[in-house]
Every structure is written in C-alpha cells, then in structure tokens.
Amino acid sequence: MTFKMVHENYNVYDLEKSMRFYEEALGLKEKRRKNAEDGSYTIVFMGNDSSEFEIELTWLRDMKRPYDLGDCEFHLAFRVDDFDAAYKKHKEMGCICFENTAMGIYFITDPDGYWLEIVPTR
C-alpha cells in the first residue's frame, strides 16, 4: 500500500487576499475551486506545474474573525531553485518572519499567519 500527499488545507479569513499572497510570494495559481450552493464556503486549490501537491484554501462565510493559530508550531516547506532571488522578493514583500542562517533557511507568513518555510535546492 502506498500513500501520496496531494494537498494541505489552510482556512483563510480573506480568500482574495490570501490568493494574491500565494501567487505573488510563491507563484501558485488557482487550479480549481468549489463553491457551496448555499454560499457557506469556497474552496480554492492552488499549485504550480513543478509539483502535483496543492494548497487548499478554505473560506467559511460564517467566520467573523481571523483564525487563532495558537503557537504556530507547524509549517509547509517550499524548495526554491533561486534562493537569493526568493529571499529578496520576500524581504521586499515584508513577509519574512524568521531566519535561520545557520541552517540556510527562512520562513514567511501568509495573511492569516501560517508559516511557510523556504529551503534552497541543495
């Protein structure tokens, strides 16, 4: 029996703002979406051509406040082929939240506070 990871879900407070962030920061594009018939939720899958893995952004109509992520002790990692250019872009965007120069990695945060690790291709 073999399992393959296909997506990770993040609930988001402002769907359009989150989609713009993921497109600008990581080059992800909308691949498909599902809207509830009653308008209670929208799910957008974002990804790129370099991987089948997707981020599932879920917006819930009845959520009236930003999500509480606790201590944010979880993250999704992205490997990038031009680490220096990615770092420069994220620095300009103001979304770098933590750097570990000893490990040669850094983290960015999305509009809802989710941490995303940026790792160089080694």
Domain ranges of the chain: 7-62+73-120
Q: What Å distances lie between residue 65 and 4, 14, 68, 116, CA to CA? A: 34, 10, 9, 22
Residue 29 has what pLDDT? 98
Give the pLDDT mean for 88-106: 96
> How many angstroms separate the CA atoms of 48 and 54, rounded?
8
**Residues with catalytic function:** 117
Closest CA to 45 of 36, 35, 56, 53: 56
Quick one: DSSP state of residue 7?
Answer: E
User: pLDDT by residue (tens digit) across 27-70?
Assistant: 999 999 999 999 999 999 999 999 999 999 999 999 999 989 88
Nearest to 118 by CA among 92, 91, 88, 83: 83
pTM recorded for the entire structure: 0.87
- What CATH number matches the domain at 7-62+73-120, 3.30.1490.20, 3.10.180.10, 3.30.1360.100, 3.40.1170.20? 3.10.180.10
